[in-house]
């Protein structure tokens, strides 16, 4: 991306009051913060908010971190939108990221993210709830709907202890706004099919990455043993798999607006493996692409490595060594800012 384009994007981000947010779980081993000097080339200097990942000597992330973020954003008029990036999610094409964000902005959806079921081989949960490792948040919509942080917190507190919170959310939205529910399901199903076509386009001989074998067969899989790759559990699950689902559910119910689904699947390309690339292509890492209809023209926006908590500058345990090495290869290959 040339300097002139960077300047134009920087002005656009400032004019549209877009804030970039991350959550750092461990400052000494943080992945994103060392790159902030380069981020400043891309984003307005004041358009960044850091959620500290340790509070009172306890990890602080997920639901609590996002409530802090929304409390800050809704308490002032400095920002209308948030682009949230996990510290182990690395941007490969900043211009493509902003192009995708512009589509989200024009959609008037409440939040954008990657489906937590059906598209990543090792995430087999809800197809309509999203994983937030790269997510967009429509603060302007919440403000226009007169939604305060207290309104959101009250909803979360009421629902969070419900043993059937996911099942009851589905029942509620079906009964109160069935058109919205059907719209999200239709979009989710279409995205799953489009992403499957894309995987088969990239790897026509073997569209399943090697990590599928671990997902399917390894009883000691540290994520979840004996899962079906690319499955989802919306019809059977009663609880929220991720605590922050309840926050997404609050935004859907309170705004009456749907989720925007980002185009994402496993980082895996057989051609590049055959060419001797050394970075991780097993399928554990996840790739986010821009969402277009033409299967051959998706641009790679970002790569999410997972396992950030095992990343450290001074590995002492086997999992730290293996994951730090894997993540470093991803950073070297794909992180462009």
pLDDT digits (tens, 9 = 90+) for 24-39: 765 444 455 444 445 6
Measured over the CA atoms of residue 63, residue 68, residue 73 and residue 75, the dihedral's sign is: positive
User: What values do phi and psi take at 309, rounded to 5?
Assistant: -70, -15
H-assigned helices in 42-132? 63-74, 94-107
Tokens found for residue 23: 């959550």
Q: What is the pLDDT of residue 222?
A: 64
Contact of 166 with 126, CB cutoff 8 Å: yes
d(CA 264, CA 78): 30
DSSP 262: P
Q: What is the pLDDT of residue 64?
A: 96
Q: What is the pLDDT of residue 29?
A: 44
DSSP 184: H
* 3-state class (DSSP) for residue 302: strand
* pLDDT < 50 positions in the chain: 27-30, 33-37
Tokens found for residue 67: 């409530």
Strand partners, 58: 55
Q: What is the pLDDT of residue 33?
A: 47
The structure's pTM equals 0.93
Q: What is the pLDDT of residue 257?
A: 98
């Amino acid at each position: 991306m040339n300097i002139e384009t960077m300047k134009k994007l920087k002005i656009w981000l400032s004019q549209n009051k877009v804030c970039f947010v991350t959550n750092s779980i461990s400052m000494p081993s943080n992945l994103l913060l060392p790159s902030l000097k380069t981020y400043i080339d891309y984003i307005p200097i004041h358009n960044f908010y850091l959620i500290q990942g340790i509070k009172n000597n306890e990890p602080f992330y997920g639901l609590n971190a996002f409530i802090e973020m929304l409390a800050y954003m809704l308490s002032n008029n400095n920002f209308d939108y948030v682009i949230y990036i996990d510290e182990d999610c690395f941007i490969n094409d900043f211009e493509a990221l902003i192009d995708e964000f512009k589509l989200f902005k024009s959609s008037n959806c409440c939040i954008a993210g990657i489906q937590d079921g059906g598209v990543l081989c090792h995430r087999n949960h809800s197809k309509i709830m999203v994983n937030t490792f790269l997510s967009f948040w429509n603060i302007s919509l919440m403000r226009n709907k007169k939604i305060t942080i207290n309104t959101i917190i009250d909803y979360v507190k009421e629902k969070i202890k419900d043993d059937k919170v996911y099942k009851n959310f589905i029942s509620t939205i079906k009964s109160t706004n069935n058109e919205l529910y059907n719209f999200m399901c239709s979009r989710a199903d279409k995205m799953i099919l489009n992403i499957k076509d894309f995987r088969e386009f990239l790897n026509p001989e073997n569209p399943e990455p090697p990590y599928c074998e671990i997902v399917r067969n390894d009883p000691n899989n540290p994520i979840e043993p004996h899962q079906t790759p690319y499955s989802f559990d919306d019809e059977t699950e009663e609880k929220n798999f991720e605590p922050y689902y309840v926050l997404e559910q609050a935004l859907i119910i309170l705004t009456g607006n749907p989720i925007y689904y980002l185009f994402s699947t496993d980082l895996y390309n057989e051609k590049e493996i055959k060419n001797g690339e050394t970075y991780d292509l097993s399928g554990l890492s996840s790739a986010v692409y821009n969402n277009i209809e033409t299967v051959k023209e998706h641009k790679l926006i970002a790569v999410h490595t997972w396992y950030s908590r095992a990343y450290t500058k001074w590995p002492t345990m086997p999992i730290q060594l293996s994951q730090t090495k894997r993540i470093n290869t991803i950073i070297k290959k794909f992180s462009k800012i």
